[in-house]
Chain A
């Protein structure tokens, strides 16, 4: 009889932790940049977006993985898209019902999770060929890798652009305004999000030698 693999074997742990660093969807694979620029002006929408992507990606991975042996290869992309689209609409509806303010801030970007390359990429590359449990972990890991970058960017953009953290006026409380400090309005605009992503990639590559490409 085949021995059962433990739920959190070394291989499975890798599925969760690799995407956080050396296989990060945003900084290494450079996927999902569009939403990373759009929803990161404040921390709250960035976190809600990360949770939404995590819910959609983990569930889609599991569903596709369960269905993987029945899916005709000729229409597999369509099947994947239908699953993603259905889940995204569900998330959007739930947000509209229970987190209305945030859903207004995220506006079209929840809908655009459908077009997020991370999702299609994971379904096609992983869930189509693996069992549900590893697929679930892979989904969580990749969404967490995406989310962590979003939250880092949002932290700096909110702090430097609006002088707040979770709408709490940090800069005002520590008295920087009284000595002439001003918020940098540029941080709120998308270009600075891209530059922030660039800085994160730079820091990550200089710390992680594996990511440095040969010349």
Chain B
């Protein structure tokens, strides 16, 4: 027969032992896990400019083709400039690669609604590949079931989309999850996020197809996913919210 005291002691000891084992494992494995997340981020950034990489060469290709990382405020001020070649800061001390989009976007939201006064900064990657310059902007937003994210690369006119990647945490397979397929992402190439006089238009994901838009707007629209309307709208929203932050910076640079 087991006494109550025995049962309580037994449970307490068991829980403490298990907790110790798990914390030990988590501590030991953490560096490996963080490296995986980092490599994935790099591969995503490279993929948006159509550079295929794998786990082994991602870091190497990143250092080779991504020349600069910038941190930009929504007012267009560059607060940090990091050169990947020399691994040194030319300005500021925040490594743009390490900026957490989730944190910055919530700062932005708080700032807009007047609940906070922390200024967000957003990263911009400059890529030079085969003698051309591309600008890569990371994206993050809310999907139907969880977060969605991605990267969009622009040509050096800051206007024409060169490539995009999207990822998601748990959109519906076969419907919303189709945003992660290349068939959906290919549509974005060649679209523009500004009109001819550099008024910001973003790229919209259009229910019923981009062909239903007026002819002069078709260049700013792509076809939505059938059955994935909420996710499609989320992609439009994400593009708008994220790209908007770069508009002042871009305007400074195209008029120069």
Residue interface bits B18-32, CB-to-A below 8 A is 1, else 0: 100110011001001
B15 contacts the other chain (Cβ, under 8 Å)? yes
Chain B residue nearest to A41 in the complex (CB): B173
Residues of B near A13 (CB, < 8 A) are: none
Stretch binding the partner chain, chosen from A82-90, A113-121, A129-137, A207-215: A82-90
Q: Does A75 contact B10, Cβ atoms closer than 8 Å?
A: yes
Give, as a whole number of angstroms, the nearest-CB distance from B225 to chain A. Answer: 15
Residues of B near A82 (CB, < 8 A) are: 14-15, 18
Contact of B22 among A73, A79, A90 (CB under 8 A): A90
Stretch binding the partner chain, chosen from A92-100, A147-155, A163-171, A174-182: A92-100
In the bound complex, CA of A96 to CA of B11 (Å): 29
Q: Does B18 contact A86, Cβ atoms closer than 8 Å?
A: yes
In the bound complex, CA of A86 to CA of B21 (Å): 8
Chain B residue nearest to A99 in the complex (CB): B36
In the bound complex, CA of A93 to CA of B40 (Å): 17
Contact of A93 among B6, B10, B25, B173 (CB under 8 A): B25
Give, as a whole number of angstroms, the nearest-CB distance from B107 to chain A. Answer: 28
Binding site for A on B (CB under 8 A): 2, 6-7, 10-11, 14-15, 18, 21-22, 25-26, 29, 32-33, 36-37, 40, 170, 173-174
Give, as a whole number of angstroms, the nearest-CB distance from B183 to chain A. Answer: 13
Interface size class of A (residues with CB under 8 A): 20 to 34
Contact of A97 among B22, B29, B170 (CB under 8 A): B29
Chain B residue nearest to A78 in the complex (CB): B11
**Which of A98, A100, A185, A189 has the largest count of B CB atoms less than 10 A from its CB?**
A100
Give, as a whole number of angstroms, the nearest-CB distance from B79 to chain A. Answer: 32
Residues of B near A74 (CB, < 8 A) are: 2, 7
In the bound complex, CA of A107 to CA of B170 (Å): 9
A6 contacts the other chain (Cβ, under 8 Å)? no
The 3 closest A-B pairs by CB, nearest first: A97-B32, A100-B36, A72-B2
Chain B residue nearest to A85 in the complex (CB): B18
Contact of A96 among B21, B36, B170, B173 (CB under 8 A): B36
Contact of A72 among B6, B33, B174 (CB under 8 A): B6
A9 contacts the other chain (Cβ, under 8 Å)? no
Residues of A near B14 (CB, < 8 A) are: 79, 82
Offer 21 A-B interface pairs, CB within 8 angstroms, sorted by A: A70-B10, A71-B10, A72-B2, A72-B10, A75-B7, A75-B11, A79-B10, A79-B14, A82-B14, A86-B18, A86-B21, A90-B25, A93-B26, A93-B33, A94-B25, A94-B29, A97-B29, A98-B32, A107-B170, A185-B174, A189-B174
